[in-house]
Amino acid sequence: MITDELGGLPTQGRVEQFRGPIAALRTDEVVFGEQAHPRDYVVHFGAVAVVALDEFDRVLVIQQYRHPLAARLWEIPAGLLDQPGEEPWAAAQRELAEEAGVLAAQWNVLVDYATTPGGSTELLRIYLARGLTFMAERPRTEEAEEQDMPVQFVPIDALCAAVFNSQLCNTSVVVGALATRAARDLQWSVLRAPDIEWPMRSHLEASDRVFRR
């Protein structure tokens, strides 16, 4: 069995260089051997995303403008873990409803990953949602980037082909699509309960590496 080893190296100091509404930039002096070296990193809320899979093996995707890339990306529904006291599974249900107007009867944890472990504490948990129904009224916020978000269903194999052809680059849709097809090929035997422990997030919370307003 191979697993990540949790636990940080000693530090000789920490400076918060910047604090914004959803993240902060820190510089730690990290001790490697006998010398300390500065390491910059972004402290993030963390997030969840949802692969909503219908009975025809199609994945629900949305298109959203992402200003850092100056592009409109096809993604799966996702959102920040920025609501105090909200559990990740509840956040995933909320985001699927707000961004797509969809409810799901069956939920599982699909995969956990760190989006940029060399420069950010952002963790992302992807859920697989099945047994989909559309809501009579979508509780959307329609703010900023969310004012215009087309929604469509794409067959999982076509979605994976788009990933391999460099047509899609959003991390959650890349990881989610490939993980979903792998899980399907394993007859869903790797799926986990939606409320299963998230060890790395617990570790980051304990070591003050999750952003708080």
Domain-embedded: residue 29 = no
What value, to the nearest 5°, has the Cα angle with vertex 25 and ends 20 and 31? 160
Across 80-89, 133-142, 158-167, 202-211, least confident range: 133-142
φ and ψ at residue 189, rounded to 5 degrees = -70, -15
Percent of the chain with pLDDT over 70: 95
Are 80 and 22 in contact by the 8 Å Cβ rule? The answer is yes
What confidence score (pLDDT) does residue 146 get? 63
Domain-embedded: residue 14 = no
Percent of the chain with pLDDT over 90: 92
Note the Cα 180 to chain centre separation in Å.
15
Domain-embedded: residue 31 = no
Domain-embedded: residue 125 = yes
Domain-embedded: residue 178 = yes
Q: Mean pLDDT throughout 113-142? A: 90
User: Is 146 assigned a catalytic role?
Assistant: yes
Show the domain range for 158.
Answer: 46-200
The confidence band for 149, taking pLDDT boundaries of 50, 70 and 90, is confident
Domain-embedded: residue 27 = no
Q: One of 29, 87, 98, 146 is an active-site residue; which one?
A: 146
CATH at residue 179:
3.90.79.10
Domain-embedded: residue 5 = no
pLDDT at 203 over 70: yes
Are 78 and 110 in contact by the 8 Å Cβ rule? The answer is no
Q: Mean pLDDT throughout 70-75? A: 97
CA distance 103 to 177: 20
Give the contacts of 124 (CB within 8 A, at least 6 positions apart): 46, 47, 48, 49, 78, 112, 113, 114, 115, 171, 172, 175
Q: Mean pLDDT throughout 48-69? A: 97
What confidence score (pLDDT) does residue 148 get? 74
What confidence score (pLDDT) does residue 142 get? 62
Domain-embedded: residue 62 = yes
Q: Mean pLDDT throughout 46-60? A: 98
Sign of CA dihedral 174, 177, 181, 187: positive
The total number of structural domains in the chain stands at 1
